[in-house]
């Protein structure tokens, strides 16, 4: 217990000393700039006109969305690459997830209202019968696939539900959203990406 308090006191003292040293250096540098004094071992630089800064464009790095093939509720293989030419919202979810449940009607609405968008709902680590009952009870008709081993979710680094990825028509990842989205949020993202 005494060791913990001692460590905390030492950390605070180091922080205070570090802050005061930094402030002292700033004052010393400001004084040198203002007075024209040259410190030992330094040369006084002549003032030079400011150079025009060139605008450096940030290179946009695009990453292909990892392709995957999973079975849908009709036991048919569905691949992400099947949807090339359309925007895809990949939504990782589970039936036990309360936020996923609240998000589902908005996913359905987004899917219904956008011909150039596809909702691909990836259920993670659940049995087909549980997912099928849930989808039928909700009346959802967007594409649902089963990631029964969790491998696709792992590939996409999913750490919580729901998690959504947006993929452009060429198959590139263009947006990521961890957590539940409302219809308005989804629609804003869709509109900004069109």
What is the pLDDT of the chain when averaged over all its residues? 80
Residue 62 confidence (pLDDT):
87
Any idea which residue has 């000393």 for tokens?
17
Residue 38 confidence (pLDDT):
41
In three-state secondary structure terms, 135 is helix
Residue 1 has pLDDT above 90, yes or no: no
- Mean pLDDT, to the nearest integer, of 155-168? 97
Residue 137 confidence (pLDDT):
98
CB 111 within 8 A of CB 148: no
CB 156 within 8 A of CB 147: no
- Higher-pLDDT residue of 153 and 2 is 153
Residue 191 has pLDDT above 80, yes or no: yes
Residue 47 has pLDDT above 90, yes or no: no
- Mean pLDDT, to the nearest integer, of 150-179? 97
Nearest alpha carbon to residue 88 among 4, 159, 189:
189
Quick: pLDDT tens for 3-22. 443 344 444 443 333 333 33
- Mean pLDDT, to the nearest integer, of 127-153? 98
Could you tell me which residues come within 8 angstroms of residue 186 by beta carbon, excluding any fewer than 6 positions away?
Answer: 89, 106, 107, 110
Q: Is 47 exposed, middle or buried (0-12, 13-18, 19+ CB in 10 A)?
A: exposed
Residue 103 confidence (pLDDT):
98
Residue 193 confidence (pLDDT):
83
CB 163 within 8 A of CB 122: no
CA 186/CA 191 separation, integer angstroms: 9
Nearest alpha carbon to residue 70 among 178, 149, 169:
149
- Domains defined for the chain, CATH in brackets: 63-193 (3.40.30.10)
Residue 35 has pLDDT above 80, yes or no: no
Quick: pLDDT tens for 49-107. 444 444 444 456 889 999 999 999 999 999 999 999 999 999 999 999 999 999 999 99
In three-state secondary structure terms, 92 is strand
Residue percentage of the chain with pLDDT more than 70:
69
Residue 61 confidence (pLDDT):
80
Residue 59 confidence (pLDDT):
55
């Amino acid at each position: 217990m005494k060791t913990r308090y001692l460590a905390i006191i030492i950390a605070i003292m180091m922080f205070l000393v570090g802050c005061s040293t930094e402030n002292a250096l700033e004052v010393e540098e400001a004084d040198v700039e203002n007075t024209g004094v040259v410190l030992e071992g330094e040369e006084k630089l002549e003032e030079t006109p400011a150079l025009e800064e060139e605008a450096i464009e940030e290179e946009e790095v695009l990453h292909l969305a990892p392709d995957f093939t999973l079975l849908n509720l009709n036991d048919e293989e569905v691949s992400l690459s099947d949807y090339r030419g359309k925007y895809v919202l990949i939504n990782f979810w589970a039936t036990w997830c309360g936020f996923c449940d609240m998000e589902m009607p908005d996913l359905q609405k987004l899917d219904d209202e956008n011909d150039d968008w596809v909702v691909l709902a990836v259920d993670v680590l659940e049995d087909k019968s549980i997912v099928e009952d849930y989808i039928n009870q909700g009346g959802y008709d967007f594409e649902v696939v089963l990631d029964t081993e969790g491998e696709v979710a792992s590939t996409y680094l999913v750490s919580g539900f729901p998690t959504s990825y947006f993929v452009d028509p060429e198959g590139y990842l263009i947006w990521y959203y961890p957590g539940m989205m409302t219809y308005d949020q989804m629609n804003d993202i869709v509109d900004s990406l069109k």
